Chain A
Amino acid sequence: MSAPNASTGNTERTAVADTAQNGATRVAGMGSGRYIGKRAPRKEDPRLLTGRGQFVDDISLPGMLHVAFTRSPIARGAILSVNTEVARDVTGVHAIYTQQDLAVFNADMISFYLVSPDIKTTPLADGRVAYVGEPVALVIADNRHIAEDAASLVEVEYAEEDPVVTIGDARSGPTVHPGRDDNISVQMGEEELDEELADKLDSAPHLVTQKVVHQRISQSPMETRGVVATREGAQELTLYITCQSPHLVARWVSLALGVPQTAIRVIAKDVGGGFGLKNHPWKEETAVILATMLFDRPLKWIEDRYENLTASCQAREQEMVLQVAFDNDGKLLASHGDYSVNNGAFPQLSECNIAVHMFVWAAYKMPAYGFLTRGWYTNTPGYAAYRGPWGMESLIRETALDVAARRIGIDPIEIRRRNLVTLREQPAESVMGIPLEDVTPAECLEKLLEKFDVGQFRAEQASLRKEKRYLGLGIATYIEPTGAAGAITTMTGELAQVRIEPTGKVTATMSTHSQGHGTATTMAQIFADRLGVPYEDVSVFEGDSSRGGFSPGAAGSRQGVIAGGAAIMAADLLVSKVKTLAAHVLEADPGTVTIEDAMVRIEGSPEKSRSLAEIANIAYGEPDRLPAGFESGLEAQYRYQPPPMTFSSAANACVVEVDVDTGFVTILRWISSEDCGTAINPAVVEGQISGGLAQAIGMVLMEEVGFDARGNPVAATYKDYHLPAISDVPDFEFVHASTPSQSVGGMRGVGEGGAIIGVPTLVNAIADALSPFGEVPVELPLTPTRLLSVIEGRDLGAKAGSETTAVMASQPGAAPVDATPETPVAPPQATAEDATEAVRIDGDWNMALATPMGAQEMTGHFETSGETLSGYLASAEGQMDFTGTVAGNKLQFDLKVVKPMKITLKYNLEVNGDKISGKCKMGIMGSVKVTGQRAT
């Protein structure tokens, strides 16, 4: 170990005792191994440090041509004409395609959940444009320079319409997508506050109403998006693409392109960061793939930074109001959350972020919670994930707790101590029904406080305030569901395939994928540890869909947990194989065989020691010496299915100074106390947390994708989109709690936590510093202008925001007038019919449930007898019978389901002619819309 420097000097490394296990295999002694728990140097580094990495732009194929896009300069309108003649004449241009050309493939651009989105999304604009930067035409040319020359010469005529830019615009403006009733992309929860909950809130001694406005973020991986597509035969499609899982891309492309007979291979050796942007291809990548199939030449498209900042999917733009009721002791009584997210025009998943509500009070003793949650379409680039997509739950809760502490007059640490669920109080169940067995935010907080003297800080803070210097302390805690597998179709287990080569060296192929995560390192540490071979002898391969098996890769802080478990299980299978063979060959009891430092030894018989290579040579090359029935070779594989959810916990503290002359914030100290169970490589763990915390600093202080009132992006380059630089990020200090999880190996996910907890920690510190001036409205980023407004008690803000409202307000009544003619059935008539005619309910209905994961289609069969209703709902998953009631055209029935969780679905439907509509209340998840029509 090299001498730890100041920033890691406080690091605490807890040796982990025997790990709990959930399967038949006993996994003992984790953390006492030679490699697990060590700050091993990374396997990836030598090639990346010497310029030998292989990123997508480093791929060059014979005959390869280059792509650039003609993009929409307006946010909303119809395309009247596209003229490519002039562009086509540029020397070096090979082809120019529009959506009409690509439509021959009828690609279905499915969501992250692998279902068709409820608005049709095409690779290139289809008759209309819905955001500035939307690709309209694709140019193929000899090189990128010429492609851009020609792209600028494609003449497109638009009929521009006033755009819907903000969530506010979406509520009142015209519809982004023609034919829809409103701009709500998806909604859950209850529009009306439950009476009982309302009473609890109203009658509470203290009610805090916290509002958070979160700006839009560009994921901004240092490597932008890009793809090289080539057909290596009539039925082969090879993609080099920067992504978060080659396997997920292969699966997505196979389903989206509808080319089942085509062998798709996806390769992504090195990826320059993903952070949620690169889960699967979107418009541009899909267009390039289709163009490759159409033009039959290898094509390359590398997104430039301007495109990345203005036309890639983006994240986070959201607003939330959280009401929290407290008693006089600061104990939680009830809460309600109203959440909205800007999904843009073509989101990768139509998000209403139900997870915000699932987890907002998960680790706190909260008796009652209700919510309304909605996603909105706007004329902006679509929504995609960004590290800790549901992070709003921690941001709004932890800032609300500090506001409450100030108002009630108790210490912010004390208010958490009074409300957090401690380890001793578990097992417990959260207000949303989440089972808690081993979350440790309270314990992380106490460990944190061992490293930080709050009393001393408060004294220093008080004395400096007399000198007009304003320091603040921010504390936050959180828990995070990690390593999830099973609840969502794309979230699966992980596969480890490992072999001891005839040379005695170890080669493993993993379903994992690194965009900087260092999985080739951490998995090699596990293999070396479990197999008893030197770390240097292990090579781990990943990044190619033709190797290993399916996994979504980096998504949801999962690889260390799940793939780590898979590696342990596969290694143990292989060890047992070696032992069986060695015992046979060396005439010993298998129980006496050990492998250490690549030597196979027999207890008590040192003369029988053999190198692993010798044993491997026998396994592969001397079938006569194998025990009866022994499979030749030394290979094993295991696909590990972890427990449904593994929680990570953390508490963070940071100290800031705010310059009250300028509103500038300086971060003086930051301590992270986290519990990620077994840390395979603490340096990798700290790297993940540090990167997330830096992104949190960016979100709080400087990053912002903004738009003007016409939907034009205002931060189109890195001159204006400010990423944190080295001077913005302090040295982080770490405390590791390390409570082993229930999953094999005891790991807990750590990929996203920093980006989640860092935001409220820093906001709380700033609010604490400025508390003498009043509360700091949580409108991110907290720019110097916004903070100085708090300090001076007057609004110094720009007037840009109101401009948007003015434009929208300039067309009074536009929205309702536009919407009405699109409603085909005139409701008053239908009501009149109800009164006079018998309503036809009996028979089959094609229905759809608008869930956040996409429309869930089903067939409803209804039979009525008087006021009694019976029937079934049938879908691909199976059929469920029900009985209920009928009153006129209104149907009511309940269905009890057990998967993915135990809930009762309460249907309230109404039949109008051949249409059926209404709601399905899904227990604590709230209500979703049901629509459908009579089956013919």
Chain B
Amino acid sequence: MKPAPFDYVAPTTIDEACAILAEAHGGATVLAGGQTLLPLLNLRMSQPFILVDINHIAGLKGIARVDGGTLIGPMTRQCEAIENTALQQHLPVLVEAVRHIGHHQTRNLGTIGGSVTLGEPAAELPATAVALKATIEVRSIRGSRNIPAADFYLGPYMTVLEEDELVTGIRFPDWSPGHITLFRELAQRPGDFALVGLAGALSIESGKVARAGLAWFGMGPTPMRARAAEQLLLGQSVHEIDPQAVAAAAINDTAPFDDQHASAEYRRTVGARLFASTLREAIRVREAA
């Protein structure tokens, strides 16, 4: 189980990296933390001509508070994100999601950007980015653009990212202080991909839901945004929310599949149930506080 041959380059600037990607015409793959890419290389499921290691680009690291949100450099290690106080304060759902990624050892190398960019449909971060209405900032020699996470994912490991584009930042908007947080993952063992997963946030203003972001993971070919449930919640006062009804709406926005670990019907049944109980519990905690 050894990778097919490839060239390795380690640019030190974003411009340099973009130039290499452009020149490779699709033959390049970006190496971030490598915790998903390396298994794919070892299994020869990915066979790039050039591996572009972006670990040496200083500008891709770090977590910064920016106007109305938090900008996370894609090369921020998952272990760093867990420890970051700004994230703990402003994006508790994201921190909870990162805790569920892989294991201690893979979080030491694995990055926020790597997980968001690869688009594994059962992974935590793509769904969390969709739920929290993150924007993915990308650059190429052609320029830069910002892509809403909800529009980023096309299918398993398939995104709208062009072959010459590099993710340079993930911007998470602030949710109102004290927003309701939702996160639930059902997996056989710690570190396994989710059988059922959901992430979400609800901003409450004057006792009513002012903004809602909800998404599933492990419940379809991409992270599945629960749009109908979001719509249902908007404007509702917190104590009026019927978790069962919201869950029923949310489960309609999934397209789960059968595999050896769980059937689609299992995922639907348990998904709706966990959605309702997670929402109910989150509301209870808020009411109690």
Interface residues of A (CB under 8 A from B): 144-145, 148-149, 152, 304-307, 661-664, 702, 704, 706, 714-715, 717, 719-720, 722, 724-725, 727-728, 783-785, 788, 792, 796-800
A783 close to B261 (CB less than 8 A): yes
B241 to chain A, nearest CB (A): 20
Kindly list chain A residues whose C-beta atoms are within 8 Å of the C-beta of B58. none
Bitwise, B183-206 to A at CB < 8 A (1) or not (0) is: 000101111110100000000000
Count chain A CB atoms within 10 A of each CB in B39, B261, B264 and give the residue with the most: B261
Interface residues of B (CB under 8 A from A): 1-5, 39, 43-44, 186, 188-193, 195, 258-266, 269-270, 273-274, 277
Q: Nearest residue in A to B190 (C-beta to C-beta)?
A: A727
A305 close to B270 (CB less than 8 A): no
B260 close to A661 (CB less than 8 A): no
CB-contact partner of A145 in B2, B39, B188, B262, under 8 A: B2
Complex Cα–Cα for A330 and B189 (A): 40
A798 close to B264 (CB less than 8 A): yes
Q: Nearest residue in A to B270 (C-beta to C-beta)?
A: A662
Q: Nearest residue in B to A725 (C-beta to C-beta)?
A: B189
A715 close to B260 (CB less than 8 A): yes
CB-contact partner of A306 in B1, B3, B262, B273, under 8 A: B1
Kindly list chain A residues whose C-beta atoms are within 8 Å of the C-beta of B195. 784
Kindly list chain A residues whose C-beta atoms are within 8 Å of the C-beta of B273. 661-662
A148 close to B2 (CB less than 8 A): yes
Complex Cα–Cα for A930 and B89 (A): 78
Kindly list chain A residues whose C-beta atoms are within 8 Å of the C-beta of B193. 719
Q: Nearest residue in B to A306 (C-beta to C-beta)?
A: B1
Instruction: Decide: A144 near B2, CB < 8 A? Known: A662-B186, A722-B188.
Output: yes
New A-B pairs, 18, CB < 8 Å, besides A149-B4, A661-B277, A722-B188: A145-B2, A304-B1, A661-B273, A661-B274, A702-B188, A715-B260, A717-B43, A720-B261, A722-B261, A725-B190, A725-B191, A728-B189, A784-B270, A785-B262, A785-B263, A788-B270, A797-B265, A799-B258
Kindly list chain A residues whose C-beta atoms are within 8 Å of the C-beta of B277. 661
Complex Cα–Cα for A339 and B188 (A): 31
CB-contact partner of B39 in A664, A702, A717, A798, under 8 A: A717
Kindly list chain B residues whose C-beta atoms are within 8 Å of the C-beta of A783. 261-262
A604 to chain B, nearest CB (A): 65
Kindly list chain B residues whose C-beta atoms are within 8 Å of the C-beta of A144. 2
B121 to chain A, nearest CB (A): 14
The 6 closest A-B CB pairs, nearest first, are A798-B258, A304-B1, A798-B263, A785-B266, A145-B2, A796-B265
Interface residues of B, dominant DSSP = loop
CB-contact partner of A661 in B5, B265, B270, under 8 A: B270
Q: Nearest residue in B to A788 (C-beta to C-beta)?
A: B266
Complex Cα–Cα for A663 and B265 (A): 13
Complex Cα–Cα for A304 and B1 (A): 6
A242 to chain B, nearest CB (A): 17
B44 close to A152 (CB less than 8 A): yes
Complex Cα–Cα for A144 and B4 (A): 11
Complex Cα–Cα for A145 and B6 (A): 12
B189 close to A727 (CB less than 8 A): yes
Instruction: Decide: A797 near B1, CB < 8 A? Known: A661-B270, A717-B43.
Output: no
A213 to chain B, nearest CB (A): 15
Q: Nearest residue in B to A68 (C-beta to C-beta)?
A: B2
Kindly list chain B residues whose C-beta atoms are within 8 Å of the C-beta of A724. 189
Kindly list chain B residues whose C-beta atoms are within 8 Å of the C-beta of A792. 269
Complex Cα–Cα for A785 and B273 (A): 14
Kindly list chain A residues whose C-beta atoms are within 8 Å of the C-beta of B258. 798-800
A788 close to B259 (CB less than 8 A): no
A704 close to B266 (CB less than 8 A): no
Complex Cα–Cα for A798 and B266 (A): 9
Kindly list chain A residues whose C-beta atoms are within 8 Å of the C-beta of B5. 145, 149
B1 close to A796 (CB less than 8 A): no
A-B pairs with beta carbons under 8 Å apart, 28 shown: A145-B2, A149-B4, A152-B4, A306-B43, A307-B1, A662-B186, A662-B274, A663-B266, A663-B270, A702-B188, A704-B260, A714-B259, A717-B43, A719-B192, A719-B193, A722-B261, A724-B189, A725-B189, A728-B189, A783-B261, A784-B195, A784-B262, A784-B270, A785-B262, A792-B269, A796-B265, A796-B266, A798-B259
B263 close to A796 (CB less than 8 A): yes
A700 to chain B, nearest CB (A): 13
Kindly list chain B residues whose C-beta atoms are within 8 Å of the C-beta of A663. 266, 270
B158 to chain A, nearest CB (A): 19
A513 to chain B, nearest CB (A): 28
Q: Nearest residue in B to A308 (C-beta to C-beta)?
A: B1
Complex Cα–Cα for A307 and B1 (A): 9
A722 close to B186 (CB less than 8 A): no
A788 close to B269 (CB less than 8 A): yes
Complex Cα–Cα for A717 and B259 (A): 14
CB-contact partner of B260 in A662, A714, A728, under 8 A: A714
B95 to chain A, nearest CB (A): 21
Complex Cα–Cα for A704 and B39 (A): 21
Kindly list chain B residues whose C-beta atoms are within 8 Å of the C-beta of A305. 1
Q: Nearest residue in A to B258 (C-beta to C-beta)?
A: A798
Complex Cα–Cα for A720 and B43 (A): 14
Complex Cα–Cα for A306 and B39 (A): 11
Complex Cα–Cα for A144 and B42 (A): 12
Q: Nearest residue in B to A704 (C-beta to C-beta)?
A: B260
A151 to chain B, nearest CB (A): 10
Count chain A CB atoms within 10 A of each CB in B191, B270, B274 and give the residue with the most: B270
